[in-house]
């Protein structure tokens, strides 16, 4: 590698990455507890964290199962949420410049946090370091914390007595919160919530959430139509 990082920059990137890794990894405990409360066993919970390794999708799958939905509609919701990692990958690819087995391995670490900690870097070595330290530490701690949460969750009895059913909604809201920074996103969020609530009595569990994804598609396409005349001005 031609470019070298100076020691101070290297230390800063490692420190920031570990900080995000510890903060994010720790909330694996809430995923572990919520997942066993939803009815998954400890093994299924841990395999989700190891294999899927993307928090919102994991919460979505167990959330749909918890509300009585078919596991496969939970899987579909998880996959739809997982599409944002594809976008992260598109932005990361030229920055990281990985190929072959390195790309295949790095792909597993493409999540919200590792992306955020590398897209702002100015050089390839800095971007790679931020990506690997953040992604690696989140991966390690997220999986350890999931196991701890799942084991704790199996011994506490009825999860409703501890409000864990409310914790799922709170987790989704906390994941949504930073995205509500534009009027457009707030309107789409309210519309999607309304559509989902309206669909609950009419459809099988798990389906309302997928119907709400239609709101996003509609908003995206309609918005383009509205903008088109402005382009011609």
Assess contact for 28 and 141: CB atoms under 8 A: yes
Q: Convert 84-93 to b/e letters by CB count within 10 Å (16 or more is b).
A: bbeebeeebe
Contacting residue, 122, 224, 226, 230, with other proteins by CB under 8 A: 224
CA 33 to mean position of chain CA atoms: 17
Under rule CB under 8 A, residue 18 binds other proteins: no
- Beta strand residue intervals within 84-225, DSSP E: none
For helices 71-96 and 55-66, what crossing angle results, to 10°? 180
Beta carbon nearer to other proteins, 150 or 192 = 192
At residue 41, φ and ψ (nearest 5 deg) are -90, 175
**Span 33-92, contacts to other proteins by CB under 8 A:** 39-40, 44, 47-48, 51-54, 56-57, 59-61, 63, 65-68, 70-72, 74-92
Under rule CB under 8 A, residue 193 binds other proteins: yes
Q: How many residues bind other proteins (CB under 8 A)?
A: 107
User: Would you give the binding string for other proteins spanning residues 128-167, x where CB under 8 A is met?
Assistant: --------------------------------xxxxxxxx
CB of 103 to other proteins, least distance (A): 5
Under rule CB under 8 A, residue 205 binds other proteins: yes
Would you list the DSSP string of 5-42? --HHHHHHHHHHHHHHHHHHHHTHHHHHHHHHHTT--H
Under rule CB under 8 A, residue 15 binds other proteins: no
Under rule CB under 8 A, residue 215 binds other proteins: yes
């Amino acid at each position: 590698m031609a470019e070298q990082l100076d020691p101070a920059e290297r230390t800063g990137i490692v420190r920031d990455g570990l900080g995000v890794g510890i903060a994010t990894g720790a909330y694996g405990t809430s995923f572990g507890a919520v997942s066993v409360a939803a009815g998954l066993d400890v093994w299924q919970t841990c395999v989700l964290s190891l294999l899927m390794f993307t928090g919102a999708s994991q919460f979505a799958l167990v959330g749909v199962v918890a509300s009585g939905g078919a596991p496969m509609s939970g899987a579909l919701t998880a996959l739809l949420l997982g599409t944002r990692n594809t976008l992260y990958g598109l932005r990361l690819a030229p920055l990281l410049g990985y190929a072959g087995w390195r790309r295949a391995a790095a792909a597993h670490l493409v999540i919200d946090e590792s992306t955020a900690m590398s897209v702002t870097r100015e050089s390839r070595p800095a971007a790679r370091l931020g990506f690997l330290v953040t992604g690696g530490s989140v991966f390690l701690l997220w999986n350890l914390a999931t196991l701890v949460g799942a084991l704790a969750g199996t011994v506490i009895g009825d999860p409703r007595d501890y409000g864990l059913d409310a914790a799922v909604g709170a987790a989704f809201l906390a994941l949504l919160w930073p995205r509500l920074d534009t009027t457009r996103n707030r309107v789409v969020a309210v519309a999607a919530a309304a559509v989902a609530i309206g669909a609950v009595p009419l459809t099988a569990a798990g389906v309302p959430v997928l119907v709400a994804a239609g709101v996003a598609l509609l908003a995206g396409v309609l918005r383009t139509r509205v903008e088109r005349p402005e382009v011609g001005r």
